[in-house]
Structure formats: C-alpha cells, structure tokens
Structure 1
Amino acid sequence: MSRKLHLTAFLKPPGEYLAAWRHPEVDPGAGVDFESVLAFARTAEDAKFDAVFFADLVGVPLESQDVLSRVSVVNDSFEPTTLLAALAAGTSRIGLIATASTTYNEPYHLARTFASLDHLSAGRVGWNAVTSLNDGEALNFGRSAHVAHADRYARAEEFHDVVVGLWDSFADDAFRHDRDSGVYFDPDGLRSLRHKGEHFSVEGPLNIARPPQGRPVVVQAGASEAGRRFAARVAEVVFSGVRDLAAAREFYADIKARAAAFGRDPGSLKVLPALSVLTGETRTEAESKMDTLRTLMPPQVALAHLGYLLGGVDLTALPADGPLPDLPESNQSRTAQAEVYRRARARGATIRELAAEISADTGTVVGTPVEIADRMEEWFRTGAADGFTVIFPYLPGTLDDFTRLVVPELRRRGLFRTAYEGATLRDHLGLPRPERGTVP
C-alpha cells in the first residue's frame, strides 16, 4: 500500500483570520454555535480527514479593550474538551483532538477527562499537550506572570508521564463483570501509580477502564529546543508552523532523529505542519477571495497581533516606519518571536510592513487546487511532512472549497484516502495501540 497523506482540520470558528467574523459569508457567532461547529466537523469527516483539531487558551491576552473588542476567537469559543464530548455523539469516524494545558491543569483531572472522551468516542480522541502561552492565562490561576519557559516544559514532561501512567491503571481485560462470582474487576489487573516527583504527587489509580486506544493520541506543537525534545520523546503527532520548505525539511529530519535517539520508531511520530489555504476554481477567483478578506482587518488588530507574536510587546509607542528593535526573549512562543525577527532582518522590514503582512495574511497559500496539491505533494515526497494541519482563514467557505476542490485532486494523485480503513484515530494515523506500561 502506498504511503498516504494525513490531514487534520484545524477548526477555529469563525476562522483563523483575525477579522474572519466580518466576512459576509460567515456566521460571526459560530465559535459558540454548536450546530455550526458540528457541520464543520461533518464536512471534514465526509472528506475523510484524520481528525479535527481545536486550539485553546485559558485566558484572554492582555491587549487593549479596543483591540479585544474587534476580534472573536479569544473572546467567544467553546472549552474544547466539552466540545469534543458533544462532537463524539454527532460524528462517527473522524478523530477529535483538543488542546489542554499542562501548566494550568492537574494530571489526574486531565487524564480522567481524556480517558472519558476516548470511551465516549469509541477511540477517536487526541490530546494536544501545551504549556500555555501568555500572562493573561497566568492571571486566572493565581500567578502574576506566566511560568518561565524552561520550568513549564519540565512540568509538562512530568505531567505527561503521570497522565500516561494513570491511563494504564487497569489492564485491558481487568473488568470481568462476573455476576456469578461477584467480581467486577480482577484486582491483579489494577496498578496504582504512586508517583512522587518534582512537580506532582499522584497516588492513583484512575477510576475508569483503560481507554479504547490504550491511550489517546498525544499531539505536541513545541518548536523550541525544549519543545522539540518533549515532542521527540512523547508525541505521536507533531504540529509545526514552519512555512519554508528547507526549514520544514530540517525540522522533519531533526524531530525524527531525536525520536530515534529516544529509542522510538521514527514512523511512530507523524509531522503535520500547518498549511493555511485559500483556493478557487481559478487563480483569479482565489485571489479575489483573498482580496475580500484583507479589507476586513483593522490596523490596530494587526499591530497588536504582531506584538503578541513578539512576546506580548506593546508596539504602539515605537516608530511605525522604523526597524524592529531588539526585544527581550519571549516567555510565550520563542519560535514565533524568532520567525518574526528572521523575516524582519531578511528584508529590513519596518514595524508597519510587518503588521501589513499580518493584514495581508501572507502565510496563507492562495491558488488553484492543482497549485495547492503541487505544494502539498512536494512537501510530502521530499521529507518535509507526513501530512498537514490544514488551517482555514474563514469558515465554512475555505473548508468547503478545500474539500470540494483540493481533496479530489489529492485523490487523483493517489495521495489521500477515499474511505476510512479503521475505526480509531490511531487507525487513521497508522499508529499502533500501545501496550500497557510501555514508554512513551
């Protein structure tokens, strides 16, 4: 059987573009309209995507009220694990991935939540393990500032290990339900965790049977040195924001080599870089759609988002037509900050020009279905990706266009499935069901 692309649909209703809610074809309140989100998930399921993927923040970024009042995503969206429970009942085959923080949760609670979701969905759930991003989140959990980068990754590693240990509390065949003997479960099939570490003390066991997948699929998106190490050790799906083909190849080779150094089969880790797409029947049609979207972005939102990518910096007091000054290393996403600096230094771009790139959404690939598929095939065949996390600037339009136009082109090339061949998210991704007690 030939190797196939893996596709996850990154759903951020009403769209990834910060002004998507203003688009005339968009429901501005889609972020908290379940029927809309369910329709998006079913569209992806009909197209045979591996999974839908929901990001999350546990707080609102520390921006001005003027900026915050002009965006929808950070202000008006479902808590994703709750959403997955509802989507599990409204879908039947597609995988369901939710983001949950290792910084502002406790391992037992999160292990129980995702084990429950895996049972509710009959084995279709994945956990995107993140360390959270900003001070606005920290303020909601009794802290004055976000946990330092190194500290939160150290916590994340231990957090993951505790969660996995809890998922393995019961053997797969522990629950006998033997009415005649009165034995509900075999006590020999139960193992308490008894974990005592630097960050956590968790006795266990988890009070639910082992998940249908053995363990929900673990997803990770860190691209810093600490993030890459964490992903290589524990992740089964790695999401990255790399845009450049050469950089994507370097990341792919590095993360696979690191996984091998941890004694893992590199094929057990799927690298799915972000791919924001906008397509149409013709290039002229696709570019016209992009032009419409670009008119919707308020300039103060673009400038604030640039500051957010740089680590939560207020850029309003700096000369807009001046160069980007040296700033302290970010305690949010260091990779995002480094990418902004790389683009700025490469062209000598001013702050105004960098903000304009955000308004123009220059990271979105705009083209015909053939052009989009050409790019995907090149990355897939030249060691840059095992598939893609597909990002949709506005919903449902760009999702509908991708499934209607690009997916058939990928199938014509033999690159994407025409039907699901298994029932679980692990089946879709070609990942084995882990044995109890194995690492990661």
Structure 2
Amino acid sequence: MKRSFHLAGFQIAGAVTHSHPGWRHPKTTGDFLGLDYYANIARTLERGKFDFMFFADVLAIPRRYGDDIADTLRRGTQGAVGLDPMMVAAALAGATEKLGLAVTKSVTYFSPYDIARSFASLDHLSGGRVGWNVVTSLNQAEGQNFGRDEMLDHDLRYDRADEFLEVAYKLWNSWQEDAIVRDRASGFFADPAKVHEIHHVGPHFKVRGPLNVSHSPQSRPVIIQAGSSGRGKDYAARWAEAIFEIDPSPDSRRAYYVDVKARASNFGRDPSKIKIFPAVMPFVGRTEAEAREKQAFHNELADPISGLITLSAHTDHDFSRYPLDAPVGDIKAPGSQGLFAVARALSVKNDLTLRDVGKLYAQGIILPQFVGTPTQVADQLEAAWSAEECDGFMISAAWSPGAFEEFVDLVVPELQRRGLFRKEYEGKQLRDHLGLGKASLEPIARQRTPEASKVA
C-alpha cells in the first residue's frame, strides 16, 4: 500500500500553544476567548486540506514550579487560561465541513460513560469528523482540582486507561447501526433488540449501559495518543490510530517510528493503520534570510522561566529548586518521562544549563523548527517522511493565525506540486482523511505475543 502524507494543526484553546512567546508576538491577532479566532484557524487548515485540527488540554493552572500560580499568570505561560476544547470543537463542527476535530480528554478524572457519550454526540454533530486524544493526567495540580492529593502510579494510570477504553468501546457498541427505526406511522422509534446493556464489572469501573446516544457515523472517534515511555508506547500501540510525538532528533523519531509500529504488529494490528505525527514549528520566508529573521525574532521573545514552569507541569517536578546556570541533573520525574528524557539528553549533548533548557522549552516545547523558503521547508518535511520518521506532521504555529496561513499558502502548494499531499479531500470523515477504513468496536486484546515482550 502506498504511504500517504498527512498534516494536522496543533492548537490549545487558550493564549499559548507550544510557542510561549506566541501571545506576545506582534503578528498574533484575534481574541483567543472568542469563537472567531478558532474558526479562522480551522477554515485556514481546511483550505489547506489538513486531516484534522488537534486540541491539547490541561485541567489546572500550572503551579508545580515554586508551588504557586502567580508566575504562571503573570507571564502568561501555557495553561494560564484554557477553554474547554470539547465546546470549541462542537462550535467548529458548524464552522467547517470536512476538517477533522480532535480533542484531548483525560481518562484519569472522568468516567467512561461521560466521555463515550460526549464523543458519540460530537461525532453525530460533525458528521463523523471526531478524534479523541486519550491522556492519563500527569500532575498534582490537576488531581487537586478533582479532590485527589496523590497521583496514581505511572503504570497503574495506564492499566486504568486500558480498562477505560475497553468500557468506552462496549458503550459505543451498545447500539447497533440500524437500531433507530423512526416509523412515524406505527409509532415504532427504536428496536430494543438492537440496544444492549454492557454489564461491565472490572477493577476500576462498573458500568451497566447502554449508552443513551445511538451509533455514530464513525462508530467511535479516531483514537489518538502520545505515549513516550515504554508503558505509554505499549498503550499507543494497542489503541492508537494516530500518535502525536515530540522529539527534535531525526534518529530518535525514526527509532520511535520503528518501535511503535513493531509493538503494534505484536498486538496483532496492521502498523499502516497507525499514523505517527511528530510536531514541528515552521518559519517560512520568501528567502532563507527572511525565514531565519522570523525565527530569531520569535525565539528571542522566549522567557526561560515560562519554559521551566511548563516543564515542571509536564514532568510534575519542581525545577525552581535548582540553580538556573547549572546542568540539568538526572532526575526521576513522575509525569511525562519521555519529554524530560529528551530535555535531559539535549542538556547533556549540548552542555546546556537549566536556563538554556527553559528557554528552549519556552520557544516551543523542544519542537524541531523547520526554517526556510517554501521549497526548503517542503524539502525538510519530505526528507523526514521519506526516511520513515513519520507518516505526517503536527504543524504548530509560532504565532496565530498568520503562521498557519503562511504554511497553507506557501508550503502546502509545494507539497501538492510534488504529489505528496492531497489537493482535495477524498471523503467527509476523519477516518477517510487518515485512510483508516471502517472502525472496529472490538477492544484489542490485552495479552501480547511473546515477541511484544522483547520489544518492550
């Protein structure tokens, strides 16, 4: 099967995405608290034939750095303000026609019934364009907003997340596709024989069912994940149909690609049905010098403390305790282990201090920055894709909406000219854009083959 090139647009329903200087950038326009801001970005991505718009999310104002929210608010760091992305996506379903809409929702603080119902509803309202980025919440501030002072152990969070999706699949499968009859003459609305209670009883959840939302256009949302630890990659290999990745190293991206695809095979899955999207931040100019000037201006705005506030939130570790001008130590982080491993490796390789790492993190959460003319940026994207580092890219804007507009107007036509990317959508549903085929509602077996254990 010929590989396809995929594109998604990264967004947070707030003032800051990966680019912490984004809200300060003079080219950032629009009100991030208003629908028009997101609708403008969504229509731009749809004009560029992107697969989907991806909304990350956090459930607390970050406070891990120094155990205080004052600096987060004062500096306007990632997470200082965040609208509920599910509501934004629901509104965007009416503002777009074919663009996929992917939303992050945590399995740590919500119930399977609540989430299954929300995504089935949004799949109906969007005509089958919904994806769910499944996350296990990773910091103490989020837990305290839901009455939990202690975080679950890292692997236990994933064990619970496995059962969460098993229950969600059962709920989405509790209505057969033809259960609704709506025979006005006879008054027969839905066939009870085609709606089923699930009677799930497990270590973490007890759910009777059925769902009170009928079978949705895609049967269920496209499952998206971002696992980077060994256990996280197993989870992604078992469930995910699209994977969001952050890694600035081509060699590491290639190794991740091979690893996750191998793990998927060992779960009995077709590796081609998992699309891996590393995030990149493009800077595009009419000349390379102009593009590098844009990059330098953006990066100079980055505040190291803002970056360390976000690194502390992501890792659930307080980096305010360490001297800014010393190297980053080998620290056991209970939160996002993969992101910290990348930051630590950069510190060791390039002899970076904690201040340096903070500045890099503020510039874009250590995303690789692809810089140059439209041809040069397309060259970098094509080279990474051809080397099987990925199946496509999560494009993250340094400022909004202009950086998305430049990419769509300048780089996408070059990708299309090379025959790498679609000129028109070939279907109406997100599964069509990703080339996934019909969704299965049978949970993937927990038991892995012996080969999978070797991969882990």
TM-score under structure 1 length normalisation: 0.94
Give the equivalent residue in structure 2 for 1:34.
35
Distance 2:181 2:88 in 1: 32
Distance 1:324 1:163 in 2: 41
Give the equivalent residue in structure 2 for 1:200.
205
Instruction: Percent identity, please.
Output: 40
Structure 2: unaligned runs, 5 residues or longer: 446-456
Give the equivalent residue in structure 2 for 1:214.
219
User: 1:438 Cα shift?
Assistant: 6.0
User: 1:145 Cα shift?
Assistant: 3.2
Kept in 1: contact 2:169–2:443 (CA 8 A): no
Residue by residue, what CA displacement relative to the aligned partner does 1:203-229 show, whole Å, maximum 9, x if unpaired?
A: 100011111001110101111111111
- 1:423 and 2:428 matched: yes
> Following superposition of structure 1 onto structure 2, how do residues 246-395 of structure 1 map, counting pairs within 5 Å?
246-315=251-320, 317-327=321-331, 329-359=332-362, 361=364, 363-395=368-400
Evaluate the alpha carbon distance shift between residue 78 and residue 359 of structure 1 in structure 2; reply closer, same or farther with a 3 A threshold.
Answer: closer
Instruction: Please give the secondary structure, in 2, of the residue aligned with 1:322.
Output: coil
Kept in 2: contact 1:302–1:355 (CA 8 A): yes
Give the equivalent residue in structure 2 for 1:19.
21
What is the RMSD computed on CA atoms of the aligned residues? 1.9
User: May I ask how many residue pairs the two structures share in their alignment?
Assistant: 437
Of 126, 130, 141, the match for 2:131? 126
User: 1:390 Cα shift?
Assistant: 1.1
Of 236, 239, 254, the match for 1:234? 239
Give the equivalent residue in structure 2 for 1:4.
4
Q: Which amino acid aligns with 2:25?
A: H
Residue by residue, what CA displacement relative to the aligned partner does 1:297-341 show, whole Å, maximum 9, x if unpaired?
A: 3343234334445543233x43332222232x2121000111111
TM-score under structure 2 length normalisation: 0.91
Kindly report structure 1 stretches of 4+ aligned residues shifted beyond 6 Å: none
Evaluate the alpha carbon distance shift between residue 397 and residue 187 of structure 1 in structure 2; reply closer, same or farther with a 3 A threshold.
Answer: same
Give the equivalent residue in structure 1 for 2:153.
148
Residue by residue, what CA displacement relative to the aligned partner does 1:232-252 show, whole Å, maximum 9, x if unpaired?
A: 111111111122111111111
Distance 2:269 2:188 in 1: 38
Give the equivalent residue in structure 1 for 2:52.
51
Kept in 1: contact 2:305–2:358 (CA 8 A): no
Of 95, 101, 108, the match for 2:100? 95
| Higher mean C-alpha deviation, range 210-219 or range 427-436 | 427-436
Q: Which amino acid aligns with 2:215?
A: R
Evaluate the alpha carbon distance shift between residue 333 and residue 77 of structure 1 in structure 2; reply closer, same or farther with a 3 A threshold.
Answer: same
User: 1:271 Cα shift?
Assistant: 1.1
Kept in 1: contact 2:329–2:344 (CA 8 A): no
Structure 1: unaligned runs, 5 residues or longer: none
Evaluate the alpha carbon distance shift between residue 249 and residue 294 of structure 1 in structure 2; reply closer, same or farther with a 3 A threshold.
Answer: closer
Q: Which amino acid aligns with 1:17?
A: S
Instruction: Please give the secondary structure, in 1, of the residue aligned with 2:143.
Output: helix
Kept in 1: contact 2:58–2:82 (CA 8 A): no
